[in-house]
């Protein structure tokens, strides 16, 4: 009986030791792989490739901004010198600007300006307009049809006093004419100069010597 108890104790100790061995940490197996050849490229994921491209483009933009800041290539503003009423006058000043080291380009502008006065007479119908025309011509007042609304022109005049004289003569016949300003499209010429702050005083001097000229700031074309 004593030997049986001793045998059971030995078996329990062996079983306990075996359980402790099984619960212990298992060391991972390390496999040593041979090095890759030099001409073999590592696989890159799409996310890694996009990140590399974005970083490269950002560095290019930063480098370009450092060497050529925005607005360094072309001036942000220009000045227009004028108006010149004839192309020949503009050519003379263009040569003077060239001697100052300024580059200018010509620009043609069109503006509507009053050039005189017109006396007009509107009738209710064509027959009435024709009758009024005959009455006016008997008084040596020129009358001609304009437009399609039975309107007669009694003449265009540069001086308002002459227009008022014709108006009074037509009113003496019992008619009701009116005076309206006459307009015409006029061409003017300008020299557009790229902005150079160190030449502002020279440009201002040109305008002081020629009272009809002025400088206007404008966006560069």
Q: Which of 163, 172, 174, 133 is closest to 151 using CA atoms?
A: 133
Instruction: Dig out the tokens for 1 from the structure.
Output: 């009986």
Residue among 75, 81, 85 nearest 216 (CA): 81
Strands 178-194 and 104-122: antiparallel
What is the per-residue pLDDT for 99?
83
Tell which residue, 215, 11, 189, 3, has the closest CA to residue 90: 189
- DSSP readout, 78-111? EEEEEEESSHHHHHHHHHHHHHTT--EEEEEEEE
**Cis peptide bond N-terminal to 83, omega within 30:** yes
Q: Which domains does the chain have, with CATH numbers?
A: 77-112+186-219 (3.30.70.120), 114-183 (3.30.70.1070)
**Residues ≥6 apart with Cβ < 8 Å to 146:** 120, 152, 153
Q: Are 190 and 109 in contact (CB under 8 A)?
A: yes
Low-confidence ranges of the chain (pLDDT < 50): 71-75
pLDDT at 49: 72
Query: Would you give the distance in Å from CA 28 to the centre of its chain?
Result: 69
Q: Is residue 196 helix, strand or coil?
A: coil
Q: Write out pLDDT tens, residues 80-128.
A: 888 988 888 888 888 888 887 888 889 998 888 888 999 999 999 999 9
pTM (2 d.p.): 0.45
Do the bridges between strand 77-84 and strand 214-219 make them parallel or antiparallel, or are there none, so unpaired?
A: antiparallel
């Amino acid at each position: 009986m004593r030997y049986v108890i001793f045998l059971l104790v030995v078996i329990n100790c062996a079983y306990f030791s075996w359980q402790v061995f099984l619960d212990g940490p298992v060391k991972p197996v390390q496999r040593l792989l041979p090095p890759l050849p030099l001409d073999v490229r590592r696989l890159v994921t799409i996310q890694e490739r996009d990140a590399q491209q974005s970083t490269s483009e950002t560095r290019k933009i930063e480098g370009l901004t450092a060497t050529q800041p925005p607005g360094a290539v072309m001036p942000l503003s220009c000045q227009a010198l004028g108006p010149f009423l004839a192309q020949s006058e503009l050519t003379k000043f263009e040569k003077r600007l060239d001697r100052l080291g300024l580059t200018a380009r010509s620009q043609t502008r069109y503006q509507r300006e009053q050039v005189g006065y017109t006396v007009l007479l509107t009738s209710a119908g064509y027959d009435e307009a024709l009758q009024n025309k005959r009455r006016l011509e008997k008084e040596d007042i020129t009358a001609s049809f304009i437009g399609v609304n039975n309107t007669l022109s009694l003449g265009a005049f540069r001086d308002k006093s002459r227009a008022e004289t014709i108006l009074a003569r037509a009113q003496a016949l019992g008619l009701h004419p009116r005076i309206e300003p006459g307009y015409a499209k006029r061409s003017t010429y300008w020299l557009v100069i790229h902005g150079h702050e160190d030449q502002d005083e020279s440009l201002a001097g040109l305008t002081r010597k020629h009272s009809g000229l002025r400088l206007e700031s404008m966006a560069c074309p």
